[in-house]
Structure formats: C-alpha cells, structure tokens
Homo-oligomer: A and B are copies of this chain.
Amino acid sequence: MRLMPRFTHPRLEDVPLDLALHALADPNRLGMVARLAATERLSCTDAAPCESIPKSTLSNHLKLLRAAGLIETTQAGREMINTLRRVDFDQRFPGLLDVVLANRVA
C-alpha cells in the first residue's frame, strides 16, 4: 500500500504559457532551473537555491516546476531526483527557456 507521492507530470501540450512564465518568474525557482540546466540530475536539497530555504517551501517550488512541465521527478531510494524536461519544454515553448536563462544574471 503506497502512500507516498507518485508524482504527476503533465503533458506539455496541457501547460499554458502563463503557468510556464509564472513558474520562471521567481528567483528561487529560476535559480533551480538554471542549476538543473547545468547539472543534469539533482536531489531536491541539492537543487535548492540556498541553504536557508525551508524544506516545505522548497517542496512547493518543485511541485510548481513540475506542474509547469519544467522538471521531472523520480524517486531513487529515499531521494527524489529532479531533471529538466528540456526537450519537451523546448518543443512546447521554442526558445523560451534559452532566452530566460540567457537573461538571468546577465
């Protein structure tokens, strides 16, 4: 009897642009996306934008990124491994992620 989360990942065609932009419109989440873009696979805590962020807040951010089709989360032991859904996302919103990441920090 499994009670722990089986993450749901939307089909990208069901993700509206607004939701995608909203997910990226937060420094913490965008920071996580940037890190994932550079690092392939990260546990939740490793994806965290800083040490001080509470676990529950981090979990919420990741849930939102999942809902926006930006990341995929799978369980591996007691860790949850997150990866960017780059191909899917780029196909749905061509150029968007590249432009946003390029405009970050810069």
Closest partner residue, chain B, to A94 (CB atom): B103
Q: A16-B27, A95-B99 are in contact. List 7 more A-B contacts (CB 8 A).
A: A17-B30, A17-B103, A18-B27, A18-B30, A21-B25, A95-B95, A99-B99
Report Cα–Cα, A82/B22, bound state, in Å: 24
B27–A25 CB distance below 8 A:
no
A104–B17 CB distance below 8 A:
yes
User: When the two chains form the complex, which single residue of B18, B26, B94, B100 contacts A96, counting CB atoms closer than 8 Å?
Assistant: B100
Report Cα–Cα, A2/B17, bound state, in Å: 41
**Chain A residues within CB distance 8 Å of chain B:** 16-19, 21-22, 24-27, 30, 93-96, 99-100, 102-104
Nearest Cβ distance between residue A22 and chain B, in whole angstroms? 4
Closest partner residue, chain B, to A29 (CB atom): B18
Nearest Cβ distance between residue A102 and chain B, in whole angstroms? 7
Q: Given known contacts A21-B21, A26-B18, is B104 in contact with A95 (CB within 8 Å)? A: no
